[in-house]
Structures are given as structure tokens and as C-alpha cells.
Amino acid sequence: MTSLLYLDSSANRSGDSVSRELTALFAETWRAVRGPAGDRCRYRDLAADPVPPLDTAYCTLGRRLERNGLPPLADIDAWIRSPAEEREWALTRSLVTELLAADTVVIGAPMYNFSVSALLKAWIDRVGFPGVFTDPDTGESLLRTTKVVVITTRGGSYGPGTPREAWDFQTPYLRAYFGKQGVAEENIHFVGAELTMAAVVPHLAHQQSLAAKSLASAREEVTALAAAGRPAIRTTV
């Protein structure tokens, strides 16, 4: 049975968030094309339920594990030495387990100050706990077959050939992060909608047609990626 982890990281929960619109489209399409096989969908709103930033106990436990060869996920409890470490690991383990259980992960990642939101960064920092994505038997990543779809939204334009192309610290960062965690390159997909502020900011008003085109293209890509890999339709004779 397939499973989806669906994350929103936009601070804007008013209903006009473009990234939230596109992640919802992905999830709705993903469920629709799979029917009963698509029942396993876990949603996490990182604005409504923020992941706490890391603290000393998280770092202390992580360093202890690194000094001792990174024990497998199932053995980490045995290395806890304080109630603070126990609390940090309980929170971390639930997020890691949630990610490991997903065949597909879709992330709404609006650009904030040329990178990702602090809400998404807190989740990334916590699930990146040392060694948790390494198969203890083979040394391979437990995420190597996971499909990751990142939906990026930007108020301006940062695509190839634009004046602000070099200001995009969002896409390269996320590509590097998931690559480092062992997600296969062919399983990392980015869909972008640009100029999302064209209808709001006066100096971008002349870009509204380009914004509409970018959003339409993003909707098509999101729908195609969500439908990909759907179960084959069985027929009886």
C-alpha cells in the first residue's frame, strides 16, 4: 500500500497561499488516482503545529551517537541519559518515523528571504538526526526509493537567466539536503510557481500574465507528478 506525507510550511494560513493551493492539489490528485490504495495520507501543517527548534539535549544525544558509530534507529533509546534527551528524542523519533513510512513526500516550500521558511528549516533540522536514515545492514539510505516533490513559490522571479537567479538559495539547498539524506537524484522533483506577488505589489503588476502562466504550468506539473506511479487499472474478462 502506498503512503503520502504532505507538508505545508507557509506561514500564511488565510487561504490565499499559492504553495498551500498546490500541495492540496497534489494530495487531492494523489488520493483520487489511487482510490482505496491512497488512503494512507499523513498531513502536517508546520505553521499550525510548529516543530520546536533544536536544543542542547538534541545535540548532546546526537554527538554521543556519532562517537559510538551511529547505532541503528531501534537502538537509540538505550543511549539516552536524561529526561531532556528522552523528550527531544521522542519528538524527533515521531517525525523521523513519519518520514520513513512515506513512499512519497510533497513539501510546500515558499521562498522567504531567498531561502526556505524557518518553519520548514526546523523540521529539516530535526529529522536530520545523525544516522537515522541509514540501513544498519547494508549502509544504504532508507530514503533511496522515496519520491520527494518540492513545490516552490516565489513572489518574484528567480529562474534561469533572470537577474536574481543567483539569489535562489532555496532550490539548491533543498536539493542538496535530500540528496545528502540519500534520496536518489531521479526521485527529487521541483515544481515552481513564480511572481506570486504580481497581483499584490504595484511594481510587479506588469508581470501578472507571466505569473498566471507560471501558476498554470505549476498546476499541470503537480497534477502529472501526483498521478505518476498510480496503480494499474485491472480489467476482468
- What is residue 38's predicted lDDT score, i.e. its pLDDT? 57
Confidence of residue 66 (pLDDT cuts 50, 70, 90): very high
CATH class label, 3-227: alpha beta
Given a cut of 60, is residue 232 above it in pLDDT? Answer: no
Share of the chain above pLDDT 90, in %: 78
Number of Cβ atoms within 10 Å of the Cβ of 188: 18
Mean pLDDT of 157-161: 88
What confidence score (pLDDT) does residue 166 get? 94
Residue 198 has pLDDT above 90, yes or no: no
pLDDT at residue 56 greater than cutoff 60: yes
Cα separation, 168 vs 148, whole angstroms: 19
Residue 87's H or E segment, with its range, is helix 83-100
The label of the residue with cell 524557518 reads 118
Residue 184 amino acid letter: A
- How is residue 16 written as a grid cell? 490565499
pTM for this model (two decimals):
0.91
Q: In what order do the strands lie in the sheet with 104-110?
A: 40-45, 3-8, 104-110, 147-153, 188-193
pLDDT in tens, 136-155: 889 999 999 999 999 999 99
Residues 6 or more apart whose Cβ sits within 8 Å of residue 191: 22, 149, 150, 151, 152, 218, 221, 222, 225
The Cα–Cα gap between 71 and 77 comes to 10
Average pLDDT over residues 47-56: 97
